[in-house]
Structures are given as C-alpha cells and as structure tokens.
C-alpha cells in the first residue's frame, strides 16, 4: 500500500476531508448496475470497478456498493479520465482501523480517509461512505491515470467533485472578504486546511468561469505535477495568469455555488401537504440503506417548511437517531434561534420545537453494533394551537 517507489511531491498528503461533514441525502435513480452480491455482507463486496472491504465488524450495507459504483462512474466521467477493467478493481477499505493502517505519514493529526499506493496497488481508506469516500475516489481515479499536481488543485477538485445530487458540496467565494490567496496556498508546505477550503473555492471558480473542459484539460495536463512550470501552464490553459485569476476570484460577486443538487425530488417532503409520516424497515440489507463503518444510514431526505411554525416530531425505532438538519443558509427573518437550529432525536423520543420556513435535510442513522434491522416510524406535524 505504501509506494516505496518515490512519488516526488505531496507524498505526505493525499489526505482527505478533515472532518465529518454533516451528512446528507443519497441519489436514487442514477444506479447503472447491480453489484455482485446485493445483500449486506460483512466480508468483501465487489462492483464492476471496486472491491470493498471493512474492518469494523459491521456489515457493508446493500446501498454502499450501489452508491460507490455510481460515484466512481460519475467522477471518472466528469474528470474525463478512463476507468479500469473489472479484473483490476480498486480496493476500498472502510473503518477507523483501515484508515489508521493505510493513511500513514500524514501531516494531519486525524484523517477520515486517504489514498495510497501506485497503479493497480492503489488503496482507498475511509471512515465513512457517503461524504468521505467520494472525495477519495476523485484522488484514486486521477492517480490511476496520472501524477497528481499541487494539493491546492487536487484537494480543491476532490472537494468540489465530491458533491453530487443529494450529497451537495457548498463552496464559499471570498466576495472581497479576507481569504487565503493562490500564491499563499502554493507556498504552504505539505497539505493545509486552506487547500481544502480555498482550493475548493478557487477550483469551483475556475470551473464556473472557464468551463469544465478547460479545467479538466488543465488538470489532466501531464505537466501539472511540475510545480515549476505551473504558472506558465496555468496561463496557457486559462488565458490569464495565476495573479489575474486570484484577483478576479477574490472580488467575483456571483453567489456561492453548490455542487450537486441539495435535495432529491422523490425524497423531498413538504409540511404544506400536511403531516409527514415516514415508516418502514431500517435494514442494512436493503439497497436504500448505506454504511460500512461506524454507522448505517437511510438515504437521506429533505423537508420543506413553507413558513416558520412549531412542530411535533416523533421517532419510533429500536435504535438509531433522527435529525432535521439545516440544508443551506436560510434567513426568513426574525424567528429565534430555536427555529433555525438542527433537531435531533434518539429512538423513542418526541420533540416539540419552533422550525424556520426553510428547507431541511432529514437524516436517519444508527450506530448500533452489527446494524440490526429495526422497523421505524417518523412523524412530523405542525402544532396549530
């Protein structure tokens, strides 16, 4: 898994997302093919391009291979890079143990994932399926095809591309406010938090401003891995210098973009239609459930609240946690902190709270060891009196 064959740059990194993103919904609909197996499996699950293993003792839920195979196909297509053949599958390992074992030599204290190795020995390790693994798959697809460039571009691109429908990735543009500039990011040693945050912002800006094909022809230029020629290469592809691009990016007043649709229409509910009731079996063996590491989760959903009101939320199950999370920045006027804050219930709990007239994400997950199946019922209704 370690290379031993001397990759020149940024060897210490290939790090991943630094923190658990809040969670989010998963895309139904776009699954091209069924994985081998299908049912939850605590051993090895293979898809056309991936070999997924797990060290946690929890099963690999049936939705996991569907999600990851769909993600690796989407990512390769956008990257304009080819995937490998089925006899050369990419190894994807889940679990804290796997990450600790694989992701050595990092400058960061704690990692949620990484990519290590070369060629067909490349390994992805991740602690989480839906938010962490896609970021690492971006690195893996690129690394299988070419030498990586500066972390500002690699981490920036991996962050932006980790966003997909139901799993959005939101970027902040500087909008004239203080930020970490291109020159400064390029000079930072190793990997830095700025490469993730402002690298993603800069890559996102390049994508929006110059288009996907220009960005990818730059990212896929074999000379990208040479930091010396980077300024010239950049100008060649984008028709402006790094300084000019930095300046234009920093004052661009376009709104902050979101990569990937925030909500999947079929999994979006509205309180305008009356009380919302969701029920079924929360079962790792179902393709609607993903997970492979510390938690299993139901494909997350969205809830539209037409106007600020008060709700009663109940969550019935043998285990698990149900959350109503802020999905995007939302300000519908004075409503008090309670209305805007995220709501969280353990199995068996009932909660009454104000809720703002915004769009929220609904997230059901469980960290019960072994992921035993449980029936569940979630009920959300407006309190009118």
CB of 136 vs Zn ion, minimal distance in Å? 7
Least distance to Zn ion from the beta carbon of 172, Å? Answer: 18
Residue number, 96 or 381, with CB nearest to Zn ion: 96
Closer residue to Zn ion, CB minimum distance, 143 or 242: 143
Give least dist CB 78 to Zn ion, A: 16
The nearest distance, CB 76 to Zn ion, in angstroms, is 17
- What is the 3 state secondary structure string of the chain? CCCCCCCCCCCCCCECCCCCCCCCECCCCCCCCCCCCCCCECCCEECCCEEEEECCCCCECCHHHHHHHHHHHHHHHHHCCCCCCHHHCEEEEECHHHHHHHCCCCCCCCCCEEEECCHHHCEEEECCCCCCHHHHHHHHHHHCCCCCCCHHHHHHHHHHHHCECCECEECCCCCCCCCCCHHHHHHCCCCCHHHHHHHHHHHHHHHHHHCHHHHHHHHCCHHHHCHHHHHHHHHHHHCCCHHHHHHHHHHCCCCCCEECCCCCHHHEEEHHHCCEEEEEEECCCCCCEEECCCCEEECEEEEECCCCEEEEEEEEECCCEEEEEECCCCCCCCCCHHHHCCEEEECCCEEEEEECCCEEEEEEEECCCCCCCEEEEEEEEECCC
| Under 8 Å between Cβ of 314 and 378 | yes
Min dist CB 13 to Zn ion, Å, is 7
Residue with smaller CB distance to Zn ion, 155 or 283: 155
Which CB sits closer to Zn ion, 69 or 155? Answer: 155
Nearest-approach distance from CB 271 to Zn ion, in angstroms: 38
Rank residues 149 and 320 by Cβ distance to Zn ion and give the closer one: 149
The nearest distance, CB 158 to Zn ion, in angstroms, is 5
Compare residues 19 and 248 and give the one whose CB is closer to Zn ion. Answer: 19
> Which is closer to Zn ion, CB of 191 or CB of 237?
191
Name the site residues for Zn ion (rule: CB under 5 A).
16, 155, 158
Q: Rank residues 155 and 192 by Cβ distance to Zn ion and give the closer one.
A: 155
The minimum distance between CB 163 and Zn ion, in angstroms, equals 14
Is 60 within 8 Å of 45 (Cβ atoms)? yes
């Amino acid at each position: 898994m370690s290379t031993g064959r001397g990759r020149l740059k940024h060897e210490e990194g290939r790090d991943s997302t630094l923190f658990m993103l809040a969670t989010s919904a998963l895309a139904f609909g776009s699954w091209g093919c069924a994985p081998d197996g299908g049912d939850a499996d605590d051993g090895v699950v293979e898809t056309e391009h991936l070999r997924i293993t797990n060290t946690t003792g929890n099963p690999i839920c049936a939705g996991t291979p569907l999600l990851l195979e769909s993600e690796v196909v989407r990512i390769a297509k956008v990257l304009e890079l080819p995937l490998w053949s089925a006899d050369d599958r990419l190894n994807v390992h889940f679990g804290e143990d796997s990450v600790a074992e694989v992701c050595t030599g990092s400058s960061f204290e704690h990692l949620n994932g990484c990519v290590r190795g070369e060629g067909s020995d490349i390994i992805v390790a991740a602690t989480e399926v839906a938010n962490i693994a896609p970021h690492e798959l971006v690195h893996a697809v690129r690394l299988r095809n070419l030498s990586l460039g500066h972390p500002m571009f690699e981490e920036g691109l991996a962050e932006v591309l980790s966003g997909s429908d139901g799993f959005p990735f939101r970027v902040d543009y500087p909008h004239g406010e203080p930020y970490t500039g291109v020159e400064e990011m390029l000079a930072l040693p190793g990997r830095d938090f700025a490469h993730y945050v402002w690298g993603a912002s800069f890559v996102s800006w390049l994508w929006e401003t110059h288009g996907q094909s220009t960005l990818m022809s730059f990212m896929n230029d074999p000379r990208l891995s040479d930091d010396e020629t980077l300024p010239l290469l950049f100008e060649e592809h984008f028709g402006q210098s790094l300084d000019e691009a930095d300046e234009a990016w920093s004052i661009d007043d376009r709104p902050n973009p979101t990569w990937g649709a925030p909500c999947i229409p079929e999994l979006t509910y509205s309180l305008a239609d009356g009380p919302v009731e969701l029920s079924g079996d929360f079962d790792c063996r179902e393709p609607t459930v993903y997970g492979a590491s510390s938690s299993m989760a139901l494909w997350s959903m969205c809830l539209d609240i037409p106007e600020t009101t008060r709700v009663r939320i109940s969550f019935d199950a043998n285990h698990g946690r149900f959350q109503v999370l802020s999905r995007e920045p939302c300000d519908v006027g004075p409503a008090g902190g309670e209305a805007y804050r995220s709501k969280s219930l353990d199995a068996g709990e009932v909660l009454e709270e104000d809720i703002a007239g915004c769009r929220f994400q609904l997230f059901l997950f469980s960290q019960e060891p072994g992921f035993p199946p449980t029936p569940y019922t979630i009920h959300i209704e407006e309190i009118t009196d």
